[in-house]
Amino acid sequence: MPASYAYLGPEGTFTEVALRTLPEAATRELIPYVSVQSALDAVRAGEAEAAFVPIENSVEGGITTTLDELVAGAPLMIYREVLLSITFALLVRPGTKLSDIKTVSAHPAAQPQVRNWLKKHLPDAHWESAASNADAARLVQEGQYDAAFAGEFAAARYGLEALETGIHDAENAQTRFVLVGRPARPAAPTGADKTSIVLWQRDDHPGGLRDLLGEFATRGINLMLLQSRPTGAGIGNYCFCIDAEGHISDRRVADALMGLKRICLQVRYLGSYPRADMQPGDVRPPRLGTSDEEFAGAADWVARCQDGRF
């Protein structure tokens, strides 16, 4: 496998900035790709060891392009996550004034994060989506658009200047990025972990989602992300992307996954990995029967009953 990481490019994206915070990135060749899909496909094809892509932001939630690519195609696995604080700059060609701007561009995930600023300062500007914020900056450089919302650090790379900086509608906005590779044994638990899965129901019925969530609730597992995505099989057909606190080696998490495997049409395991904030999971009190020790004790008791040793 090549010692390289694919990432959502071109150069100058927030994705690249977040990727470079990983210590191992210094020992890999970092290769930009034009889309999330092409970066992940590079891993599937064996052209890259891993891909680094955005998956969620604190304003709009899950990034559907990434979620859909992880749901479909050959299985991939998340190994790491990174949180990056996001503020935008309005990048323009030198000499451009605010009154000159008729078209603006950025990645679709950026629009909800600057919508109010745009309405206040450029109410008549036409929005055009780009493959990434850095790609929008490149298109401004080429003269296709008047301005781009991107990181201020991208200005020098594309010969632009920052007309406005510190743009954001929500304070402390963050984007979550993940390092994705081919399936392998997950890293050892750290005590501050997250497990990601995708669930497909056997059929659509009243209380179906409650049945799925009940597998987590009865074991005291907190969910950090729950997002439905269409399966493409018709209106009303959805799968569910879930991030849960804990590691697959935790007895309560493993037990929940076994329960889901029994009742779901399909379960896709996307990995167990350290949380970027390194905050321990919110495990309910042991008296409620959700500790690893109690799961192990219950399993031992059943085994003794089966052996006639109760």
Strand ranges inside the chain, DSSP E = 4-8, 29-33, 50-57, 61-62, 77-85, 88-92, 103-106, 126-129, 147-150, 161-167, 174-181, 193-201, 223-230, 238-245, 264-274
- The first and second tokens of residue 222, run together, are 């907190």
Do 76 and 70 meet the contact criterion of CB atoms below 8 Å apart?
yes
Averaged pLDDT, 261-271:
95
Mean of per-residue pLDDT scores for the chain: 92
Going 72 to 76 to 82 to 87, the CA torsion angle's sign is negative
The pLDDT, as a whole number, for residue 286 is 47
Q: Would you state the pLDDT for residue 297? A: 84
What is the C-alpha to C-alpha distance for residues 194 and 275, in angstroms, rounded to an integer? 6
What structural domains and CATH numbers belong to the chain?
Answer: 1-86+173-184 (3.40.190.10), 88-167 (3.40.190.10), 185-309 (3.30.70.260)
- Residue, of 300 and 200, whose pLDDT is higher: 200
3-class DSSP state for residue 65? helix
pLDDT in tens, 57-115: 998 889 999 999 999 989 999 999 999 999 999 999 999 999 999 999 999 989 999 99
- Tell me, what's the pLDDT at 285? 56
* Beta-sheet pairing, 193-201 with 264-274: antiparallel
Report cis status (omega within 30 of 0) of the bond before 274. no
Q: Say whether pLDDT at 260 is over 50.
A: yes
With a cut of 50, say whether residue 299 has pLDDT above it.
yes
Q: What pLDDT score was predicted for residue 231? A: 87
| Angstrom distance (rounded) from CA 50 to CA 188 | 19
Predicted pLDDT at 287: 47
Residue 307: phi, psi to the nearest 5?
-90, 0
Which pLDDT does position 288 carry in this prediction? 63
**DSSP letters along 150-194, please?**
E-TTHHHHTT-EEEEEEE-SSTT-EEEEEEEES--PPPPP-SSEE
pLDDT in tens, 78-90: 999 999 999 999 9
Give percent of the chain with pLDDT exceeding 70: 97
Q: Name the residue type at position 162.
A: A
Pair 32, 9: CB distance under 8 Å: yes
